[in-house]
Chain A
Amino acid sequence: MWLDEADGFAEIFRGYLPFYLLVAVPIFLIMSPVSPVAASHEFSVYRMQQYDLHTAPHGCRSASFNLEGRSLTSWSTSRHCVVARIQDITIDQFMEIRSKAGALLLVLPKNDTILTPEEKDHIQLLEMAMIQLEVNAPVYFAQWSPDFENILRDLQHSFITDDKSGTALEAMVNTVSSNGYQIVVTAPTPQKVDSKPVTLHGKLAGRSGSQTIVIAAHYDSSGVVPELSQGSDSNASGAVAVIELARIFSRLYSTAAERGGPTLLFVLTSTGHSLNYFSIKKWLEEQLDSSDASMLQDVAFVMCLDSISTGPMTMHVSKPPKAGGAAHSIKSRLRIPINHKKINLADETLAWHHERFSIRRMTAFTLSSLQTHKTGARSSVLDTYSESPNHLVSNIRMVARALASHIYNVTEEVNDEDEALYDKALSVEEDSIKHWHKYMSSQSRAPQIITTNPPSIGVTGALERVLARYMEVTVSIHTLDKREPEYALYSPTRAILYVYSVKPAVFDLILTLAIVAYLTVVYFAMQMFPKFYDEFAKLVNGKTKEY
């Protein structure tokens, strides 16, 4: 055989070994299957909001990074990606990270954790602070998962030390035992997306056809993470209320005998407070400045609904309602406290939805459960749907009653029979409200998502179809100014994050030393084996000779 003739394969090998090492090994390595997804962890992460408002930049400006993960306490340079729980990071820490760190990865609270009111306040404040300014480092958010918990723990308790350990041995032990993480996100560079905000409106013509009552709400949500801003309270609740009021009054207005005096106009807009109520501004311009301005000729009042599911409502006005006016009549029928705040045009954004109407000299007010517009609750990732406490149904019922009693000019319910009739005519459908509220809160309605889709699909399409059941709906698509866009939105909003376990280079050196030591022991063991065997054989055979 050829192999036997070659006088041992080892001889061939010896001659060819250098060649083999130089050529074959690299070829083998290049041929080896390289799979970048072979990371031990892979997560869906959501990029922080990025938008410009009147060319003022807000939010995160970059998307990709490939950096070493560190905890809040151990990071030091721009080569580190800080990984932390959103509850743990303070605003000061964020500001430092914003100016110095390479990237930030925040893990949201576990779904079933009960956050204390202080923690909630803290998170909302942090979100407000984050979105206020621009951040040049990539910032990502991730949903909680057990794997993340492990990574966080590893990063917190054992970080790879370069110079902080006491002794060399300690440093060595630390190096071998600790886990490092390389965190990689590959995403396209942020780009402006083509945003086409819409306004839906439908009208129920009244008897007299002179006065108009406008009921408006925006249905987008805003938050520091576009993909995760479900905005259950702000402002799914307001949009649901508009739908429900449209249903109730469309029934009343369907017969000529029951039809009320004023015309009712229902308006749903797709950009809310985060983008300075752009849609409604454009819509008003279109309606008022066009030649045919009949629709908004004589507006009795404008009622905006914003965040009405978390508690009893307050009426927010820019000008105290005059006694005898329509707004005063509604106020006295609702019997709710009033909050007067003047419009401040110097602010970057308007405080409330109604201010857009007030600027155009209409009587307008906003009904909201919130006491002040300065709260972060309107733009929080924590604003998710919850079954209780949910004041939406009772608030809608209250608004419907007040509105109806204003329209039909009922001063007082005279007897029980009348009241029962009244209740029947104005009964709200709790199931439908809950269903719609849940549906709207089940997905993100960030401007990036709802204004970039065509208006016939998604939430906009659903709202249009449901309103169309009760009245004729007009969809107005607004365009941004070409040269000086009022706002700009950026993608991507999500990415895949890879986490690789890594060890420092020193670790491999230590491993080599260990392997060399082990091989030396094996070598000497083999060299000593004949002697050992002789002794062993003597021992064994000595024993066997005994019996």
Chain B
Amino acid sequence: MTLYHFGNCLALIYAPYHMAYKFSGISEYASFSKCVTAGCLYIFTQLCKMLFLATFFPDSDSSLSGEYDIILEFLKATVDFADLVGLYFAVNSVPGKGHAKIFTAAIGWASAEVLVTRGVDLWGGARGAEFDWRHVRGACEANVALLRTVAISALLWQRPKTKAMPALLATPYRPILETLLASALGLTAWGAVGLSAGVAILASAFALKLYAGTNAHY
């Protein structure tokens, strides 16, 4: 990847997060520190998850058979409920109106996620001579992740409403379901990104509908 290409990928990742922060109106609340708190919560949650996984699923790395054990994967995905708990705390730790809570927590959370998961990959590939679509794809996935995280926090914010519950319960299993669907449809890597973008858009439309409904009751 050339330096120019590195810049391209960086812009594709960073700009949407920056714009989301600027134009969602939360920057007026001077709540950058709250974003950082949400990010720290993300990292803490991941550490807890890793400890849990390493303790109870010790053979996840040593299984070299290459077989896709669906039950095991489902059990592992269940651990992702911790993400919901962490994000729930993040949402509730932000004072203010509903949309500020949602956006602050979501942007902090998603930024930390992107930094931890994509950052290393991008940094490591920055000086290689090799071109790989992977980096551009990763940047697009980061955009999708932002949208998804906003949708999930919006759903979490109105947890009291039972309507949001089924969607929330499905969240931890989303990656595995998407993988299965993508392989069933024979999608390429880009197709898989498109699929998760579609799922994220549907989820956010649903979240927006509930949000609009909730606000009408106040």
Give the chain B neighbours of A34 by CB distance below 8 A: 127-128
Is A39 engaged at the interface, CB distance under 8 Å to the other chain?
yes
How long is the Cα–Cα vector from A427 to B125 in the complex, in angstroms?
66
Which residues of chain A have C-beta atoms less than 8 A from B30's C-beta?
A: 4, 7-8
A20 adjacent to chain B (CB < 8 Å): no
Instruction: Say yes or no for A113: interface residue by CB 8 A criterion.
Output: no
The yes or no answer to B60 lying at the interface (CB within 8 A) is: no
CB pair B19–A35 under 8 Å, yes or no, is: no
State which size class the interface on A falls in: 35 or more
Interface pair A536/B212, CB less than 8 Å apart: yes
A342 to B32, CA, bound (A): 95
Whether A32 contacts B32 in the complex (CB less than 8 A), given A508-B2, A536-B212, comes out as: no
Residues of A within 8 Å of B16, CB to CB, are: 519, 522
B56 at the interface (CB under 8 A from A): no
Whether A502 contacts B33 by the Cβ 8 Å rule is no
19 contacts between A and B (CB under 8 A): A7-B30, A8-B27, A28-B123, A29-B6, A32-B124, A34-B127, A500-B130, A500-B131, A502-B131, A505-B4, A511-B5, A511-B136, A515-B11, A515-B12, A522-B15, A522-B16, A523-B19, A536-B212, A541-B212
| Interface residue SS majority, chain A | helix
Q: Which residues of A contact B117 (CB under 8 A)?
A: none
Q: Are B19 and A526 in contact, CB atoms less than 8 angstroms apart? A: yes
Closest Cβ of chain A to B151, distance in Å, is: 14
Choose from A29, A36, A39 the contact partner of B3 (Cβ within 8 Å): A29
Min CB distance A481 to B, Å, is 46
Known: A526-B20, A527-B23. A501 touches B130 (CB 8 A): yes
Q: In the assembled complex, which residues on chain B have CB atoms less than 8 Å from the CB atom of A540?
A: 209, 212-213, 216
Identity of the chain A residue whose Cβ is nearest the Cβ of B24 in the assembled complex: A526
Whether A522 touches B33, Cβ cut-off 8 Å, given contacts A501-B131, A501-B132, A515-B8, is: no
Interface residues on B, range: 35 or more
Q: Is A503 an interface residue when CB atoms closer than 8 A count as contact?
A: yes
Q: Is B129 an interface residue (CB 8 A)?
A: yes
Task: Judge whether A257 is part of the interface by a CB distance below 8 angstroms.
Answer: no
On whether the beta carbons of B216 and A537 are closer than 8 Å, the reply is yes
A-B contact count (CB 8 A): 97
Any B CB within 8 A of the CB of A442: no
Please state if B212 and A3 are interface contacts (CB–CB under 8 Å): no
Q: Which residues of B contact A533 (CB under 8 A)?
A: 208, 212
A323 is an interface residue with CB less than 8 A from chain B: no
Q: Which residues of chain B come closer than 8 Å to A527, judged between CB atoms? A: 23
Does A38 interact with chain B (Cβ within 8 Å)? yes
* Given A29-B3, A39-B129, A519-B15, A508-B20 contact (CB < 8 Å): no
Contact of A345 with B by CB under 8 A = no
| Cα–Cα distance between A527 and B23 once the two chains are bound (Å) | 7
Judged by a CB distance under 8 angstroms, whether B77 is at the interface is no
The answer to whether the Cβ of A40 comes within 8 Å of any Cβ in the partner chain is yes
The A-contacting residues of B in range 68-83, CB under 8 angstroms, are: none
Of the candidates A3, A523, A541, the one whose C-beta lies within 8 Å of that of B32 is A3
